[in-house]
């Protein structure tokens, strides 16, 4: 790569030349956006050769590649991570400084690429970074939405959604590849043509044809010369004859196809456009894989030696049927051979146990939109039932078959049509086997496995937290920058007061940076020496932001009504978007905002407590919040959070976790030990006992605990202004509807756990040691290790031996 040989002088010359070429302007007169565009163009053209080589090497070496199909990708900004991975970051930062430019001002010009809702989309992007950084042959396949996840504003404390036009000023990183376009068929009907020799050929009659045009983005590996491809598809009107006569409505329908990302992060609403999106990127992706494969001198029968397809949640589950369709109808393969290949090629990850999120489509909708795909799914279902009949009992077959009660069950299709089903943390994978997918586990025990999630530690530590990174370099050397487990070297300094001091200073600098940001965004001046207590994740009842609020109100009343004075000052920081149609979640936002206002306007408490609910939580905002966090709130009801990944990011940045034994929190506890995390609340088995015995009575906790009663009453007794309806709604959810997520049950344990946090913080020596141990043990959650496990156990792909650039 020409990249690492780039020195400051050479860079400056290239940069200034390009600025003149592109804009005919001097650096003094250039706008930040012109500088951003110039730098981006230079970056892209500098990895272009590696991108081409990566691609042609995979081909030349006939390497097996994985294609990660995901309806969401959430990379955030890309400029700084590209610079880091190319090995350019320090050089460019210094060169620009010489020219009087701050790199951070330049990178802020880039809009976040927010083509995802939350955990699932961000995980896909962390995986793209790690796959490239491990030199693994892997590509992403998704949708190029015109509008990203909505922008969130608060008006009178209410969430308001605004469109996110992320492409308005163009996108530097993508390359449109017209020549790789494919056609995707919708609607119409299937005629089975019988040929003279008796073979039957299905013909898709009267289809609506949509042209799928790919936009490719380079995924730059960390200093290894690998640049993989993220391929996102856009829908266009085909230029063919008949389309000239398309009605306005038909044209609109095609443009709408890739227009918006659905903003629900768990509720399946079964909308027709969503189903169209799913088939669109599945068909385009699978067609382009097979088209490319056919350019190789290889037999179709050996396809599984060259291609792995990963189904990220059920949204791309139609990969199974589309792959079958192409092998059967286009390649004229026998059913048995095609099916054999399909199961070997496909693998599936489940991301949630919440039943509302399990996708089911009505037979009617799927059949009318995809007549041929529906036929194939029917045949997969028929053969499944036939194969299982007489082998297992009838009820089990009825519960696991793909089509039943007029619905097509997408998870069933994904499991039956693949060789691997994995959960995303140990507990989650166990629950899949014993509860959620137990029936399938009985049928296919060997297909089930765990792959605990991971995070791109380069982004979440090296990029987001330079202050801590510098301390690490000085203390343990630089190897942690590419071998995350080397963070463990920090354990040698767990008692070292000088290192503690440096960690404290780094944290303080990050807290000051966040405080300045908060002042600028909200006008609120927060106490920089308070505990920064952070809960950042989608707003959902099961994640229990409400429990956090009950604790805040408890502190409030202790100060106001019980005369407590010696509490450790705390700033409670929230970042969360609610799905626009999720009424209850929006009520929680409103109430948190009103409580925040009440506290802020009350001088008796405002120097001890404050709530900052930052608008428009995003990847870039997370990069400012996480390094400044002292406390990480991971308080979902045990069994509900499949893994969580903000828990890993916060731990990596030295925050102490207060958590239930849910998702990956359990593995974080195992990593740091009981003394370095605060655990509270019901366990998963206690939750399931309540379900079995149906003996939870929320009201009895309300009655028995005076502090809890005071807090819950405040939602309806006028204590908090402007929440008449929302307060009532929340009050009722707890008492009238018996508190679905056991908030009142876990309240007392949570308040006590918070006291433990406070006590630990007041002993800074102890706190800094805890914090250090968290950083030191976060290496195991690097997505580099996670994707290597996927590569070995599931995809069976290999990296070429590493040639790491210094």
Residues forming the site for ligand 26M (CB under 6 A) = 117-120, 123, 262, 264-266, 268, 274, 351-352, 357, 424, 453, 641-645, 663
Burial of 63 (0-12, 13-18, 19+ CB in 10 A): middle
Which is nearer to ligand 26M, 468 or 650 (by Cβ)?
650
Whether 169 sits among the annotated catalytic residues: the reply is: no
Q: 3-class SS at 115?
A: strand
Which is nearer to ligand 26M, 582 or 701 (by Cβ)?
582
CB of 738 vs ligand 26M, minimal distance in Å: 24
Residues 586 and 583: their CA atoms lie apart, in Å, by 5
CB of 75 vs ligand 26M, minimal distance in Å: 15
CB of 277 vs ligand 26M, minimal distance in Å: 9
Residue 123 to residues 75, 363, 456, Cα–Cα distance (Å): 9, 31, 9
What kind and span of H or E run contains 315? none
CB of 670 vs ligand 26M, minimal distance in Å: 17
- Catalytic-role residue among 351, 500, 511, 710: 351
Q: 3-class SS at 652?
A: helix
Residues 30 and 23: their CA atoms lie apart, in Å, by 8
CA dihedral 473, 478, 480, 483 (to 10 degrees): 180
Residues 645-655: b if buried by 16+ CB within 10 A, e if exposed? bbbbbbbbbbb
CB of 407 vs ligand 26M, minimal distance in Å: 15
Which is nearer to ligand 26M, 207 or 580 (by Cβ)?
580
CB of 313 vs ligand 26M, minimal distance in Å: 6
Name residue 362's beta-bridge partners: 407
Which is nearer to ligand 26M, 428 or 500 (by Cβ)?
428
Which is nearer to ligand 26M, 40 or 119 (by Cβ)?
119
CB of 579 vs ligand 26M, minimal distance in Å: 8
CB of 225 vs ligand 26M, minimal distance in Å: 29
Residues 213 and 257: their CA atoms lie apart, in Å, by 13
Name residue 194's beta-bridge partners: 200
Which is nearer to ligand 26M, 287 or 643 (by Cβ)?
643
- Catalytic-role residue among 44, 80, 451, 537: 537
Whether 538 sits among the annotated catalytic residues: the reply is: yes
Which is nearer to ligand 26M, 274 or 383 (by Cβ)?
274
Q: Which residue is nearest to ligand 26M (CB)?
A: 119
CB of 537 vs ligand 26M, minimal distance in Å: 8
Contact 153, 616 (CB under 8 A): yes
Give me 689's structure tokens.
Answer: 């006992």
Q: Which backbone phi and psi does 575 adopt, to 5 degrees?
A: -140, 125
Which is nearer to ligand 26M, 303 or 436 (by Cβ)?
436
Residues 386 and 335: their CA atoms lie apart, in Å, by 15
Residue 423 to residues 312, 331, 698, 780, Cα–Cα distance (Å): 11, 34, 31, 17
Residues 722 and 725: their CA atoms lie apart, in Å, by 8
Contact 643, 664 (CB under 8 A): yes
Which is nearer to ligand 26M, 120 or 773 (by Cβ)?
120
Spatial CA neighbour of 413 closest among 313, 310, 318, 345 = 318
- Catalytic-role residue among 231, 459, 543, 710: 543
Which is nearer to ligand 26M, 166 or 781 (by Cβ)?
781
CB of 664 vs ligand 26M, minimal distance in Å: 7
CB of 287 vs ligand 26M, minimal distance in Å: 24
Residues 786 and 775: their CA atoms lie apart, in Å, by 18
Q: 3-class SS at 536?
A: strand
Residues 558 and 566: their CA atoms lie apart, in Å, by 11
Which is nearer to ligand 26M, 72 or 726 (by Cβ)?
72
Q: Which backbone phi and psi does 439 adopt, to 5 degrees?
A: -60, -40
Q: Say which residue the tokens 């990847």 belong to.
A: 619
- Catalytic-role residue among 122, 538, 586, 710: 538
Non-local (6+) Cβ contacts of 325 within 8 A are 372, 373, 376
Whether 194 sits among the annotated catalytic residues: the reply is: no
Which is nearer to ligand 26M, 641 or 729 (by Cβ)?
641
Whether 513 sits among the annotated catalytic residues: the reply is: no
Spatial CA neighbour of 710 closest among 731, 694, 696 = 731
Spatial CA neighbour of 138 closest among 85, 70, 67 = 67
- In sign, the C-alpha dihedral spanning 77, 79, 85, 87 is negative
Q: Which backbone phi and psi does 396 adopt, to 5 degrees?
A: -60, -40
Please, how many CA atoms are within 13 Å of residue 674, restricted to the half-sphere of its CB?
A: 1
Spatial CA neighbour of 264 closest among 540, 579, 575, 541 = 579
Please, how many CA atoms are within 13 Å of residue 32, restricted to the half-sphere of its CB?
A: 10
Whether 428 sits among the annotated catalytic residues: the reply is: no
Whether 645 sits among the annotated catalytic residues: the reply is: yes
Spatial CA neighbour of 159 closest among 594, 543, 523 = 594
CB of 315 vs ligand 26M, minimal distance in Å: 7
Report residue 694 CA to chain centroid gap. 34
User: Which residues have a catalytic role annotated?
Assistant: 351, 537-538, 543, 645, 649
């Amino acid at each position: 790569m020409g990249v690492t040989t780039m020195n400051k002088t050479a860079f400056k010359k290239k940069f200034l030349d390009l600025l003149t070429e592109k804009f005919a302007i001097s650096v003094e007169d250039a706008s930040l956006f012109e500088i951003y565009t110039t730098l981006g163009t230079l970056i892209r053209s500098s990895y272009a050769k590696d991108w081409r080589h990566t691609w042609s090497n995979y081909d030349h070496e006939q390497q097996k590649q994985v294609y990660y199909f995901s309806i969401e990708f959430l990379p955030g900004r890309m400029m700084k991570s590209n610079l880091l991975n190319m090995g350019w970051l320090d050089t460019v930062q210094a060169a620009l400084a010489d020219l009087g430019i701050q790199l951070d001002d330049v990178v802020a010009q880039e809009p976040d690429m927010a083509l995802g809702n939350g955990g699932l989309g961000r995980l896909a992007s962390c995986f793209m970074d790690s796959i490239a950084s491990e030199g693994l042959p892997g590509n992403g396949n998704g949708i190029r939405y015109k509008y990203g996840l909505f922008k969130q504003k608060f008006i009178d404390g209410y969430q308001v959604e605004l469109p996110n036009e992320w492409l308005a000023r163009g996108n530097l990183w993508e390359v449109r590849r017209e020549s790789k376009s494919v056609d995707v068929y919708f609607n119409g009907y299937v005629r089975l043509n019988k040929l003279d020799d008796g073979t039957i050929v299905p013909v898709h009659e009267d289809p609506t044809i949509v042209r799928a045009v790919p936009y490719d983005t380079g995924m730059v590996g960390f200093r290894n010369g690998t640049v993989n491809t993220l391929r996102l598809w856009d829908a266009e009107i085909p230029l063919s004859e008949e389309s000239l006569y398309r009605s306005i409505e038909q044209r609109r329908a095609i443009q709408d196809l890739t227009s918006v990302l659905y903003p629900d992060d768990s509720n399946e609403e079964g909308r027709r456009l969503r189903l169209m999106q799913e088939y669109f990127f599945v068909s385009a992706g699978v067609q382009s894989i097979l088209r490319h494969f056919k350019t190789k001198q290889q037999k179709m029968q050996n396809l599984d030696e060259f291609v792995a397809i990963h189904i990220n949640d059920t949204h791309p589950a139609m990969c199974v049927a589309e792959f079958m369709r192409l092998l059967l109808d286009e390649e004229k393969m026998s059913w048995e051979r095609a099916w054999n290949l399909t199961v070997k090629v496909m693998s599936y990850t489940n991301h949630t146990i919440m039943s509302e999120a399990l996708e089911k489509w009505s037979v009617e909708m799927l059949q009318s939109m995809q007549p041929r795909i529906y036929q194939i799914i029917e045949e997969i279902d028929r053969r499944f039932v036939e194969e299982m009949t007489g082998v297992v009992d009838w009820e089990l077959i009825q519960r696991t078959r793909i089509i039943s009660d007029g619905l097509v069950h997408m998870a069933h299709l994904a499991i039956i049509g693949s060789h691997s089903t994995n959960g995303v943390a140990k507990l989650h994978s166990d629950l899949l086997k014993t509860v959620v997918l137990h029936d399938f586990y009985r049928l296919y025990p060997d297909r089930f496995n765990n792959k605990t999630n991971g995070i791109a530690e380069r982004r979440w530590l090296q990029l987001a937290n330079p202050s801590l990174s510098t301390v690490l370099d000085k203390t343990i050397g630089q190897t942690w920058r590419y071998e995350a487990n080397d963070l463990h070297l920090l354990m040698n300094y767990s008692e070292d007061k000088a290192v503690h001091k440096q960690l404290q200073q780094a944290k303080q600098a990050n807290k000051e940076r966040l405080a300045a940001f908060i002042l600028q965004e909200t006008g609120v001046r927060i106490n920089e020496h308070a505990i920064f207590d952070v809960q950042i994740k989608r707003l959902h009842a099961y994640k229990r932001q409400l429990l956090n609020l009950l604790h805040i109100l408890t502190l409030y009343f202790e100060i106001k009504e019980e005369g407590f004075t010696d509490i450790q000052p705390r700033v409670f920081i929230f970042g969360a978007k609610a799905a626009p149609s999720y009424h209850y979640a929006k009520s929680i936002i409103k109430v948190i905002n009103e409580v925040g206002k009440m506290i802020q306007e009350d001088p008796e408490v405002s120097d001890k407590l404050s709530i900052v609910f930052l608008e428009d939580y995003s990847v870039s905002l997370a990069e400012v919040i996480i390094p400044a966090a002292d406390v990480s709130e991971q308080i979902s009801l045990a069994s509900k959070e499949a893994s969580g990944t903000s828990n890993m990011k916060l731990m990596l940045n030295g925050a102490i976790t207060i958590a239930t034994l849910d998702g990956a929190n359990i593995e974080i506890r195992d990593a740091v030990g009981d003394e370095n995390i605060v655990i509270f609340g019901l366990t998963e088995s206690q939750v399931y006992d309540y379900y079995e015995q149906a003996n939870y009575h929320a009201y009895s906790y309300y009655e028995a605990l005076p502090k809890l009663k005071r807090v819950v009453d405040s939602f309806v007794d006028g204590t908090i202004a402007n929440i008449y309806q929302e307060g009532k709604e929340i009050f009722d959810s707890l008492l009238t509807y018996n508190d679905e997520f056991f908030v009142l049950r876990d309240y007392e344990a949570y308040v006590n756990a918070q006291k433990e946090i406070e006590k630990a913080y007041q002993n800074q020596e102890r706190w800094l040691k805890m914090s250090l141990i968290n950083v030191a043990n976060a290496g195991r959650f690097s997505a580099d290790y996670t994707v290597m496990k996927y590569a070995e156990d599931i995809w069976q792909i290999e990296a070429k031996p590493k040639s790491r650039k210094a």
